[in-house]
Copies of this chain bind each other. A is one copy, B any other.
Amino acid sequence: MSVTSINTRNQFKGQIVAIKRGEIVSEVEIETSAGIISAVVTTSSLQRLNLRVGNAALALFKATEVMIAKLADD
């Protein structure tokens, strides 16, 4: 069975441009058309997916996780 689609609308395609490995979690930077999206994932999942700098990747986050700040027109 393969994944055909994922429910969240917030899906941004890009390329992995940096990986900072830690013992338990690692920080991954994905360059998308809007700039860098930063993700913190378990190092074990990084290894399981064999994620490397240069890989094509999708950054996904749920709408319920997004906060909105109002900006002043200064």
Contact = CB atoms under 8 A, between A and B. Distances in A.
Interface of A: 1-13, 20-28, 30, 32-42, 44-46, 48-49, 51, 55-74
Contact of A67 (B22, B39, B48, B70): B39
B40 A63 contact: yes
Copies in the complex: 6
Contacts of A6: 3, 6, 60, 67-70
A60 to B, nearest CB: 4
Nearest to A74: B2
B36 A33 contact: no
A3 B70 contact: yes
A6 B49 CA distance: 8
